[in-house]
Structures are given as structure tokens and as C-alpha cells.
Chains A and B, each alone.
Chain A
Amino acid sequence: MRNIFLFIRRFFNFIVLLILQVFSIYLIVHYNTFHNAVFSGVMNEVTGKVNTEYNKVDYYFQLKKTNQQLVKDNERLRNQLKENFESPDTATKIISDSIPYDTMGNLRKWMYLSAKVVSNSVTAQNNFIVLGRGTAQQLKKDEGVIDPNNGVVGIITDVSENFAVVMSLLHKDSKISAKLKNGGDAGQVIWDGKDPNRLSLTDIRKSAKIARGDTVYTSGFTTTFPYGLMIGTIDEIIPDKSTNNYLIKLKSTANFYNLQYVYAIENYQKDEITRLLKNANNKTNN
């Protein structure tokens, strides 16, 4: 017994080192569970507040770019106004409203919520974006996030009362289901951890007809993003020698360097779909 105490006393610092290292690595590996437990509450709010203060200054210097983006967005929306379309027969009346039903009785599925980017990073290997909008302002977990020009930015992983953390496409765990505009082949968009604004598209067969400059869309297969939001354009096509797939490099539509305003997309039918899938899973398991 005495020897054990002597041992502990002699190597006390080394043991402290080991404990702290193991704890750090535990945090890295079990990132998600820890993240939910502690980060949502305290750390998120604290770092969020500091980031908001910094962003007040940073925002001022990017006003010009932000303005350009918003003007572009406005132009696109203005072109969709009903006054711009003339129909010879006005039997149906178009009402643009934000109620969940339109005049045809269709259920609203997607809702866009604007949010201010409070902090953003592109230099790390796992990048996150913080939004200055949280549960108190109707943001929820697992919603998709796009920039004003309809380019996919990421997915909300964590929400606190006034802030939300978005896992950007530039993250090792980021996986977005994607589709080619020409041909409609589906694949997955991931990031290789090197160059921001350059993504990789995997799982595209060599039989697919692709060319440089082709557009890659969201597939609409997931509950996070609607169909047809731009992810990027094909920049480089590398045939993978060991498999039957291409390795495709994309130039991302969203410019991750100067995000200031983004839109979160809420899916009103998400619960229904997830419940169905859960039931189906239960049935097959039994």
C-alpha cells in the first residue's frame, strides 16, 4: 500500500498529464454527446456574446459585399413577383401569404428564416458558423442553412436560446446528398479538409456523363434541404483507378469567406417523415 502512495507521489505530474490528455481526447472523440450536454448551455452563450461584439465591427467593413448579395437576392425575388406575369384568364386568384396553406390547399413544407452570421471560420479542419438566432427565435436543430444566393452552407447542429451553431460544409462530418443537374446521378458532397470553397463529390459512377462546369444540386432526398439548391459547379474530374467511381472536385456556390446573412430552412413535414421511417424500421426489426 505504501508503495502505491509513493508511486503516485513520485509520478503525480505524469498522472495529471495522462488524465488531462485522456480527457481531451475523450472530448474530441465523443464530441457530440459532450457538445449537447455542456456547450448548448453555457459556452455557446458566452462565446456567442463575445462574437456578436466582434461582428459589429467586422460587419461594418463588409457592408459593400453584403449589400451586393442582398441586391442580387432582391432582383431574383422581384422577378418572381406576380405583377410580372400576365395571364389571359384570371379565374384563379393568387394570394401570396405566409399561412401554411395556399389557395390550392397545398401544405407549406419549407420555411426560410433569415439569420445573421455572428462568427465564421474557414481555416480550421472542422469549421463552424455561429448564427445570432436561437430557439427563442424559432430556429431548431438539424435545419439546413443556405446563403442569399441559394448556395448550401451547412446544417444546424446545436441551438441555444439566442445562438445557433452551424456545421459548415467545411467539416469532416459534413455529408450532403447531392444530384447532378445533367443526368440526375446522385452522390455525396464531403470536404477533404484542405482548401475552403473546394468540395468533393463522391459516389458518381464512371458511366455518368459529366463535364467541367456542370451544376450540382441538393437531391431533396433528405429532410434537411429542399430539391434544387445549388451546392457547387464541377471544377475537376479525377477517375478513381481502384473503384468504378469518379472523384469530383467542386467549386462551392457559397463563398465561405464572406458570409454575413444566411437563411435557415425549416421543414414542416419533417416529424411526419421521421416518424414513418421509424415505424418502418421497427417493423423490419421485429
Chain B
Amino acid sequence: MSTLIKNIIRFILLILVQVYVLDRVHIHFMVTPYIYFLFILWMPFKLGRTAQMLIAFVLGFTLDSFRHNPGFHAAACVLISYLRPFLINILIPQEGADSNYEEPSPKSMGGFMPYLLYAGVLTFVHHAWLFFLEALQFGNFWYFIIKTLLSTAISLLLIIIVELIFSRKQQFRTNTV
């Protein structure tokens, strides 16, 4: 399957799962798990940085339109897609892994720990920025901190489960690129 079609299907599926399954979860009236931004985490390595940010904006905006509340998720998505290349540069171990593999995964990042760190940092930043923008309206500082930490933990757990269930086969391409 071509990368484009694969990503379009992924986009639609993740948005639907987020809107119709996860948005209905509300643990202790506080924590809502997020998984739709896995689309950003899984975007191909070779995509241009500006394109990444624009696609991330579209993703966030789509979710926002389902919630009739434009801006919040779009802002968070754009921020993590901006930070993503820096993190990949720091965390990726072997020379040229980002041209040998198509997209970030435990295999292409060289182990589960670097990948977990990569997902963890981006999840935290996404949640922090999203809830910070929401907290500006309601203004409750401690609630915001606890909500961010708990939501990050739950979302990260979900990401690990998804990663274990749907293990993506990463082809090692020849390093002629």
C-alpha cells in the first residue's frame, strides 16, 4: 500500500476512534485519553517540516470541528509536529536510520526505550499545551497540572498497547538514499 493511502486511512480511523470512543471516556471527571495524535508521531521521516506542521494543523482542526470548539487541538498538534524533528535527531541512534526506515517505530528508533521517550515527551507537550489553553479559560492551576500528568500517563499506556497490538512491519530499505 502506498504511503499516502495508508496515511489517509490512518487519519480517518484515528479521528473516528478519538471522537466516538475515547472522547466518551472521562475517568474521575478529569482524565480523557488521547490517541489521535499518533498520526503525527507516525508521520514519515522524509516529509518536509513545513508540510508536517500544515498536516498537523489539519488533523487538529478536524478534531476541533467535531467538538465545535476550533483552535485547541490544532494549536497542540502544530506544536508537537514542530518539536518532532528535533526529538528524532537527538534520539535516533544509528547513522542514517531515518533514511533506512520509513517512519518512527520501536524498530527504526533502535529499541523500545528511545521510542517510548519520543512518544512520552510529545504526549506530555501535547497535553500540557492543550490543557494550558483550556485552563486559561477556567483558571485552575493545580487541576491543570494533575490533569496533564494523569492524562499523559493514560495516553502513553494506550500508545504502548496500540504499538504492541498493531506492530507495523518496517521494511529495511537499502541505504542508497
Report A's interface with B, CB cutoff 8 A. 12-14, 16-17, 20-21, 24-28, 31, 34-35, 39, 43, 46-47, 50-51, 54, 119, 121-126, 128, 130, 158, 165, 172, 192-196
Which of A46, A128, A192, A193 is the one whose CB lies under 8 Å from B68? Answer: A128
* Beta-carbon contact of B138 and A24 below 8 Å: no
A16-B53, A28-B133, A172-B137 in contact; A21/B78 too (CB < 8 A)? yes
* Beta-carbon contact of A39 and B26 below 8 Å: no
* Beta-carbon contact of A123 and B69 below 8 Å: no
* Beta-carbon contact of B70 and A125 below 8 Å: no
Which of B20, B25, B69 is the one whose CB lies under 8 Å from A124? Answer: B69
* Beta-carbon contact of B26 and A123 below 8 Å: yes
Q: Which residues of B contact A27 (CB under 8 A)?
A: 64, 70-71, 74
Chain A CB within 8 A of B42 CB:
no
A24-B74, A123-B32, A124-B67 in contact; A17/B82 too (CB < 8 A)? yes
Q: How many residues of B contact A (CB 8 A)?
A: 34
* Beta-carbon contact of B49 and A13 below 8 Å: yes
A21-B75, A54-B20, A125-B134 in contact; A194/B68 too (CB < 8 A)? no
Nearest A residue (CB) for B32: A123
* Beta-carbon contact of A47 and B134 below 8 Å: no
Mark out the residues of chain B between 61 and 93 whose CB falls within 8 Å of any chain A CB in the assembled complex.
64-72, 74-75, 78-79, 82
CB-defined A-B contacts under 8 Å, sample of 21: A14-B82, A21-B78, A24-B60, A25-B75, A28-B75, A39-B65, A43-B65, A47-B68, A50-B66, A121-B23, A123-B32, A124-B69, A125-B137, A125-B138, A126-B137, A128-B67, A128-B68, A130-B68, A165-B68, A172-B137, A195-B29
Which of B25, B30, B74, B138 is the one whose CB lies under 8 Å from A20? Answer: B74
Least CB distance, A126 to chain B, in whole angstroms: 5
CA distance in complex: A12, B49 (Å): 10
Q: Which residues of A contact B60 (CB under 8 A)?
A: 24
A13-B49, A123-B32, A124-B23 in contact; A31/B70 too (CB < 8 A)? yes
* Beta-carbon contact of A21 and B69 below 8 Å: no
CA distance in complex: A130, B71 (Å): 19
CA distance in complex: A119, B23 (Å): 12
CA distance in complex: A77, B143 (Å): 44
Q: Which residues of A contact B24 (CB under 8 A)?
A: 121, 123
Which of B26, B49, B143 is the one whose CB lies under 8 Å from A122? Answer: B26
* Beta-carbon contact of B78 and A17 below 8 Å: yes
Least CB distance, B151 to chain A, in whole angstroms: 11
Nearest B residue (CB) for A157: B68
Sorted nearest first, the 7 A-B pairs with minimum C-beta distance are A27-B71, A24-B75, A28-B71, A193-B138, A123-B26, A128-B68, A27-B70
* Beta-carbon contact of A34 and B70 below 8 Å: yes
Chain A CB within 8 A of B140 CB:
yes
Q: Counting chain B CB atoms within 10 Å of each CB, which of A35, A50, A165 scores highest?
A: A50
Nearest B residue (CB) for A167: B68
Q: Which residues of B contact A51 (CB under 8 A)?
A: 66
Q: Which residues of A contact B134 (CB under 8 A)?
A: 125
Least CB distance, A273 to chain B, in whole angstroms: 28
Least CB distance, B63 to chain A, in whole angstroms: 10
Least CB distance, B34 to chain A, in whole angstroms: 11
* Beta-carbon contact of A28 and B138 below 8 Å: no
Q: Which residues of A contact B53 (CB under 8 A)?
A: 13, 16-17, 20
Chain A CB within 8 A of B50 CB:
yes
CA distance in complex: A119, B19 (Å): 10
* Beta-carbon contact of A194 and B70 below 8 Å: no
CA distance in complex: A34, B57 (Å): 17
Nearest A residue (CB) for B66: A47
Q: Which residues of A contact B50 (CB under 8 A)?
A: 12-13, 16
Least CB distance, B95 to chain A, in whole angstroms: 24
